[in-house]
Structure 1
Amino acid sequence: MTSCSPSSPSSPASSSPLVLQGFTAPLSLADFKLAAFDMDSTLISIECIDEIAAAAGRKDEVAAITEAAMRGEITDFKDSLRRRLALLRGVDEDALARVLRDRLTFNPGARDLCAALKAAGLTLVLVSGGFTYFTRHVAAELGMDFVRSNELEIVDGRLTGGLVMQEWGDICDGEEKRRMMLACAARIGASPAQCIAVGDGANDLPMMGAAGLSVAYHAKPAVRAQAMIAINDGGLDRLLDVFR
């Protein structure tokens, strides 16, 4: 998908309260115009790159790098992604189809939350350090308006271990997520304060820090600590509990 081009299960009941930091609920959805979402481990239950690596027998090695990057222990996301991609060199592209068919599932409440936000008039943005092969499917299923993610390079039916250069660059890291959210906000006439950003890993912190409302979903400790809302139990639709 292009830089800014358009493109259910509900959560189980939980008695555990949301963790609110820096404000008091309820808020009004009318105060927001845009919601930006991470994909892997946020809207969907898997890290797609780890599942692709399983096809190459290297899931443990790749997953260890993914975990360190999401925790913020590896601070250069671009470097961590290139290291992981190098381990996928030679994987048959059919592995992508198998991951999409057999492994990709939406997190509880993802469909309900996105539907509710769309019904309230919000623009939805998907910003992912993952891959277009999967973001296209997720965006279509959830009604995303704008998408940015990385394009895997495939030659002769196999992954090269590289990415395709796009008009905005080749790797959607934390800073690119922030830029994309703000660019889409400007395009629809919204201020940063009218943006909601939802993520789980360290590379989501730049966009979360720029948004008027930041939401950590089953997130790494450093992300939970910096978010205004932390959803630690239940599904994504628990976010709706803070709005009147």
Structure 2
Amino acid sequence: MHSSTFLVVLDADSTLIRDEVIELLAEEAGRRAEVADATEAAMRGEVDFAESLRRRVAALAGVPTTAFERVVDRIEPTPGVREFIDEIHARGGIAAVVSGGFHEVLDIVAPALGVDRWRANRLEQRDGVLTGEVSGEIVDAAAKAASLRSWAHDLEIPLTATLAIGDGANDLDMMAAAGLGVAFNAKPAVRMKADVVIGRVDLREAIALLP
């Protein structure tokens, strides 16, 4: 296997895809508005992400697991995402995604978009319905940064040859750990701290940043 030269780690919701998956799931429970407000506060960095995620997932209690299929059908990939990932591969890089969202959706969406590796939260299920709990450790800002570091280590890629692309406050640690931190479609606090800001919602804009 020829060794990869660089690593790009993207956030999922509002970066890899246009949607906030938790809001689509909450819609299945008729609770989209309250969950959307809580997501917005978390992305602006006004509340603790893990605590906020637990509260938002609690609103999903009782949603049948069949909802995942409907949600996946509604997901819109971000414009330019396929071209961006194709270009990463053409240049010998690895495309990874780390998300405060959910494996249940990312396991379908990520490979379909050509993503090489991914990590997200898991939703606890019992008897075909969601319990309203997160299963296992929560993927928060620290976990995102740790994922980037550990993938770079496994792939023997120096951190200087890593890019992190995200939109929310929980992406800031990962962006700081990477060689280049890119704010994409991002909240003001994230744009302020990023190395590069991409305003247009088109991932082709990030191709110029690839090694």
Same fold (TM over 0.5): yes
Q: CA RMSD in A?
A: 1.5
Confirm or deny that 1:41 pairs with 2:8: no
- The structure 2 residue matched to 1:155, chosen from 126, 133, 136, is 126
Q: TM-score, normalised by structure 2?
A: 0.94
Shift of 1:134: 1.3
Question: Could you say which residue in structure 2 is the equivalent of 1:21?
Answer: none
Contact 2:49 2:140 in 1 (8 A): yes
SS in structure 1 of the partner of residue 207 of structure 2 = helix
Question: Could you say which residue in structure 1 is the equivalent of 2:35?
Answer: 62
Confirm or deny that 1:218 pairs with 2:189: no
5 Å-filtered alignment, 1:107-186, equals 107-165=78-136, 170-186=137-153
SS in structure 2 of the partner of residue 151 of structure 1 = strand
Confirm or deny that 1:71 pairs with 2:38: no
Matched AA of 1:73: E
Shift of 1:243: 5.3
Q: TM-score, normalised by structure 1?
A: 0.82
1:126, 1:234 → 2: CA distance? Answer: 17
2:201, 2:186 → 1: CA distance? Answer: 13
1:121, 1:212 → 2: CA distance? Answer: 17
Shift of 1:241: 3.0
1:138, 1:227 → 2: CA distance? Answer: 27
SS in structure 1 of the partner of residue 181 of structure 2 = strand
Contact 1:115 1:142 in 2 (8 A): no
> Are the structure 2 counterparts of residues 224 and 91 from structure 1 closer, same or farther at C-alpha, using a change threshold of 3 Å?
same
- Structure 2 residues not aligned, in runs of 5+: none
Contact 2:72 2:109 in 1 (8 A): no
- The structure 1 residue matched to 2:60, chosen from 88, 111, 116, is 88
Equivalenced residue count is 208
2:11, 2:210 → 1: CA distance? Answer: 21
2:153, 2:200 → 1: CA distance? Answer: 33
Contact 2:100 2:140 in 1 (8 A): yes
> Are the structure 2 counterparts of residues 187 and 48 from structure 1 closer, same or farther at C-alpha, using a change threshold of 3 Å?
same
Greater relative contact order structure (CA < 8 Å, 6+ sep): 1
Larger radius of gyration: 1
SS in structure 2 of the partner of residue 233 of structure 1 = coil
1:243, 1:206 → 2: CA distance? Answer: 20
Matched AA of 2:6: K
Confirm or deny that 1:206 pairs with 2:189: no
Confirm or deny that 1:230 pairs with 2:201: no
